[in-house]
Amino acid sequence: MKYADEFRDKEIALGLANAIQSEADPQRPYRFMEFCGGHTHAISRYGLEDMLPKNVRMIHGPGCPVCVLPAGRIDMAIRLAERPEIIFCVYGDLMRVPGSQGASLLKAKAKGADIRMVYSTIDALRIAEENPQRQIVFFAIGFETTTPPTAVMIRLAEKKQLANFSVFCNHVLTPPAMQNILESPDIRNIGRVEIDGFVGPAHVSTIIGTAPYEFFAEEFGKPVVISGFEPLDMMQAILMLVRQGNENRHEVENQYSRAVKRDGNLRAKEEVSDIFELRDQFEWRGLGQVPYSGLKLKRAFAKYDAEARFDMKELRVADNPACECGAILRGVKKPVDCKLFGTVCTPETPIGSCMVSSEGACAAHWTYGRFRDHQQRRAS
């Protein structure tokens, strides 16, 4: 497969694994967090952990925007979807995300809500054009990567003068969340966060560039390598982080230079800043309230804002107190340290963010990696 196989070459991978092995100082730990679920998925799917020395550990971060969406926002979406005048358009992987008391959009659909799975923002606009007598709400979600398509969709809705179209906006931003992982009131309860560097999400940086992480790297003294999602990208990024650690550097480096520039995509950034503004606070499942980490539509576009159009009330649902997601996605604990892991919390019945989608730390470990726990137990 052109443009994919080149980044999955076993021989090159072994070369990188050998380089990591020989350059990583056996006397010190290297704890790197991959922020994005796409990276977690690649690590798990290709079994990269088996190719790293024992003292180089990957910490699976918040995952994907689907995993970190709090139960209250899912409850809000379900209430909206249940209104008879509404056709609610969502991306497929949101369907199973649990709200409070086991509710989900999949279950709401089974009970009669008109929920349509879409594959692009254009599909939602088409449904709006085909159903002028109904209200179409698009469940907008994603990091900086999926925000420009939502902005373009709103522009198009305006151009087409669609009066029956709006957006339930749940777009979130990565740098504030990374900051929260290292510096938030929760850390007092959870314990010291030991992260020696970050693998930054490349798709996000294709939009925002590498520059937003520079302040972050300087402020917190942690190296950041913006990495692609192919396994060779990951291995190279890990090697770059090991080198920065060995040289006591903390810089932003760009492994994904084939698509990421320092300033990102100016046109996309402009579109986003025209239409969206920061929320003061936005709740992340597992992280709690994170200041300035979410986007909402500007007042000028309020007619496309489902929260305003349908007078939606913010719903808050407390996380299960036994859930250790907050500590797991800060790297303080591992999935197996949580007493809910694999007992009441499984991919079929997820309790916390780390188990919600296949890209969460716990789901990835359960689905791809739990044989290692048994191997370790047998070895000890």
Selected binder of other proteins within 30, 40, 44, 255 (CB under 8 A): 44
Residue 153: CB partners within 8 Å, gap ≥ 6? Answer: 121, 122, 124, 125, 138, 167
Q: Which stretch binds other proteins (CB under 8 A): 36-44, 153-161, 313-321, 325-333?
A: 36-44
Residues 219-248 that bind other proteins (CB under 8 A): 231
In whole angstroms, give the CA distance from residue 302 to residue 294.
16
Rounded to a whole number of angstroms, the minimum distance from the CB of residue 367 to other proteins is 5
- Token pair belonging to 254: 């760009």
- First-to-final CA distance of the chain: 42
Q: Which is nearer to other proteins, 273 or 375 (CB)?
A: 375
Selected binder of other proteins within 208, 359, 360, 361 (CB under 8 A): 359
Selected binder of other proteins within 77, 86, 141, 297 (CB under 8 A): 141
Rounded to a whole number of angstroms, the minimum distance from the CB of residue 27 to other proteins is 25
Asked whether position 118 contacts other proteins by CB under 8 A, the answer is yes
Beta strands in 131-260 (DSSP E): 135-142, 165-171, 197-201, 224-227, 252-254
Asked whether position 66 contacts other proteins by CB under 8 A, the answer is yes
Q: Helix and strand tally (H, E) in the chain?
A: 17, 13
> How many positions of this chain bind other proteins (CB under 8 A)?
54
In whole angstroms, give the CA distance from residue 380 to residue 181.
32
Residues 175-214 that bind other proteins (CB under 8 A): 203
Residue 350 carries which side chain, given as an amino acid letter? P
Selected binder of other proteins within 93, 186, 251, 319 (CB under 8 A): 93
In whole angstroms, give the CA distance from residue 367 to residue 346.
9
Rounded to a whole number of angstroms, the minimum distance from the CB of residue 370 to other proteins is 7
Asked whether position 45 contacts other proteins by CB under 8 A, the answer is yes
Q: Which is nearer to other proteins, 46 or 310 (CB)?
A: 46
Asked whether position 134 contacts other proteins by CB under 8 A, the answer is no
Asked whether position 37 contacts other proteins by CB under 8 A, the answer is yes
**SS3 breakdown of the chain: % helix, strand, coil, rounded to 5?**
45, 20, 35
User: Contact, 181 vs 193, CB < 8 A?
Assistant: yes
- Token pair belonging to 351: 């309790």
Binding residues for other proteins, per CB under 8 A?
A: 1, 4, 8, 10, 13-14, 17, 36-38, 44-51, 64-66, 91-96, 106, 117-120, 123, 141-143, 145-146, 203, 231, 346-348, 357-359, 363, 366-371, 374
